[in-house]
Structure 1
């Protein structure tokens, strides 16, 4: 029988934990962890999922899609809006838009620290 595990946390390396937490807070509506600071910040979901952001000296952002610096992590989010609308909102928040493999089905964006993430429409 397989071990029963529930995902409880995801932590991203970055140069500025509070700034990256603010980006994801605006993008997701998750609540900030009350003990967030300049070295480690976090967001909490109602179901207990925690997204953490930890300061790393000499952080090197992933280079996607070329993988010269591997992406290290890839997060996907479902969005209620149409992809164009959700993408526009995320770009306004500071996301980047690298080369796209398939803009009809999903969009690959990068957070302000360079981590790639996807958005897919729930529709």
Structure 2
């Protein structure tokens, strides 16, 4: 039986869609969506999955690990070398929260809009 649904997009709220798309473009190598603009920007992979970023006027960044503003969701990315990937992403503008629940196996970083994401070693 074919799947009932197929994931086609993941969209993150943010204050500046083009800036956040540029960060993830450099981090992942995904191609910019041709209809990206100031209100919505996107990146897509070769299979049609879109990673989107939509402008929200009263955007409040997650305060992870403090639950005052929950993380709502987070993305995980497989990487070959945790330290190398972390250094590259920090240079691109990612942040690194002090709390790291299992730094030997994965690293929690935040994108420029404050969304937590994980780097998982052994990718």
Cα distance in 2 for partners of 1:29, 1:2 equals 30
Classify 1:46/1:84 alpha carbon distance in 2 versus 1 (closer, same or farther; 3 Å).
same
- What TM-score, normalized to structure 1? 0.94
Q: CA RMSD in A?
A: 1.4
Unaligned runs of 5+ residues in structure 1 are none
Aligned to 2:96: 97
Q: Are 1:86 and 2:85 matched, yes or no?
A: yes
> Could you say what secondary structure the match of 1:114 adopts?
coil
Unaligned runs of 5+ residues in structure 2 are none
Aligned residue pairs total 122
Deviation digits for residues 11-60 of structure 1 (CA, Å, limit 9, x no counterpart): 00000000000000000000001110010000010011100000000110
